[in-house]
C-alpha cells in the first residue's frame, strides 16, 4: 500500500516551511483584517475566523529554502503547493471547540474520532482533502512516497467509506513540531498506519 507519509522531497518541505509575520504596508484598497497574532506569509489575504484561531495556537516555521533533491524551481513549486494545503489544515484545526483546543494546548496530544465531528468540522476536514487532491494531482517524484489523495490511502489502510473508524490525532512531537495524524482502526481494534502531515510549531 502506498504509504500516506510526507517524506523525502515533501518531508523536507514539511520541516522547512516558510513563515513569518507580515510587514506593515499602507493599504491602497480596503483595510486588511486586523489580527493580534503574526500570520505566515502564505496566509490568505482575508483569513477566516478558524484560520485565525489556529494562528493563535501554532507558531509558524522560519522561512527557509526548501531542501530537496529536486531542482530549485521544482522544490519551490512543491513548497508553494504545500503552503496552499496548510490553509484548510489550519482552518480544520480552528474549527475545533474551545474545549478541544484547550485540551490540546494543555496535553500536547488531542485525539478525536471522525464519527464525533460536527457537520462544520467534517466539512472542514473534507475541504482539506479536496485542496490537497487539487494541489498534488499528477504531481510525482522518484524521491517521494506521498499520495495525491488522502481518502484513497485511508481506504487502503482500512478506513470505512464514511471514515467512522478513523482517529485524528494532533500531536506535539519532541521537537515542538505539530503533526496531524490520521489512522484507521482495524477489525482487531488496533490502529493502522499513520497518515501524518506537519502543521507548524507550538
Residue 106 pLDDT? 95
CA distance 76 to 169: 29
26 φ/ψ angles, rounded to the nearest 5 degrees? -75, 120
Domain definitions of the chain by residue range: 8-21+36-201
pLDDT tens across 16-63, in order?
333 333 333 444 444 444 447 789 999 999 999 999 999 999 987 644
CA distance 169 to 108: 10
CB atoms within 10 A of CB 2: 13
87-108 in b/e form (b: 16+ CB < 10 A) is bbbbbbbbbbeeeebebbeeee
Per the model's pLDDT, the better-predicted residue between 97 and 3 turns out to be 97
pLDDT tens across 134-193, in order?
998 877 544 445 578 899 989 999 999 999 999 999 999 888 889 999 999 999 999 999
CA distance 96 to 184: 20
Residue 66 pLDDT? 44
Residue 5 pLDDT? 40
pLDDT tens across 68-83, in order?
455 566 667 888 888 9
C-alpha 191: how far from chain center: 20
Q: What is the helix (H) or strand (E) element at residue 167, kind and residue range?
A: strand 166-172
Sheet containing strand 109-113, edge to edge, reads 109-113, 166-172, 177-184, 195-201
Identify the residue whose cell numbers are 489523495: 149
Residue 38 pLDDT? 84
Residue 140 pLDDT? 57
Strand partners, 181: 169, 196
Residue 13 pLDDT? 44
Q: Which residues are CB-contacts of 108 (< 8 A; sequence separation ≥ 6)?
A: 171, 172, 202
Q: Which residues are CB-contacts of 175 (< 8 A; sequence separation ≥ 6)?
A: none
C-alpha 104: how far from chain center: 16
145 φ/ψ angles, rounded to the nearest 5 degrees? -135, 30
Residue 128 pLDDT? 96
Per the model's pLDDT, the better-predicted residue between 64 and 126 turns out to be 126
pLDDT tens across 96-148, in order?
999 999 999 999 999 999 999 999 999 999 999 999 999 988 775 444 455 78
Amino acid at each position: 500500500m502506498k504509504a500516506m507519509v510526507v517524506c523525502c522531497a515533501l518531508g523536507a518541505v514539511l520541516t522547512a516551511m516558510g513563515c513569518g509575520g507580515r510587514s506593515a504596508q499602507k493599504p491602497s484598497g480596503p483595510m486588511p483584517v486586523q489580527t493580534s497574532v503574526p500570520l505566515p506569509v502564505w496566509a490568505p489575504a482575508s483569513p477566516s475566523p478558524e484560520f485565525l484561531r489556529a494562528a493563535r495556537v501554532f507558531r509558524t516555521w522560519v522561512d527557509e529554502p526548501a531542501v530537496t533533491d529536486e531542482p530549485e524551481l521544482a522544490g519551490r513549486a512543491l513548497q508553494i503547493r504545500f503552503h496552499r494545503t496548510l490553509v484548510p489544515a489550519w482552518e480544520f484545526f480552528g474549527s475545533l471547540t474551545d474545549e478541544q483546543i484547550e485540551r490540546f494546548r494543555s496535553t500536547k496530544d488531542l485525539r478525536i474520532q471522525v464519527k464525533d465531528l460536527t457537520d462544520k468540522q467534517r466539512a472542514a476536514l473534507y475541504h482539506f482533502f479536496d485542496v490537497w487532491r487539487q494541489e498534488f494531482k499528477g504531481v510525482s517524484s522518484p524521491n517521494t512516497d506521498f499520495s495525491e489523495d488522502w481518502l484513497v490511502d485511508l481506504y487502503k489502510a482500512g478506513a470505512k467509506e464514511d471514515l467512522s473508524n478513523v482517529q485524528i490525532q494532533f500531536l506535539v512531537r519532541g521537537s515542538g513540531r505539530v503533526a496531524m495524524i490520521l489512522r484507521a482502526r482495524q477489525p482487531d481494534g488496533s490502529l493502522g498506519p499513520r497518515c501524518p502531515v506537519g502543521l507548524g510549531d507550538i
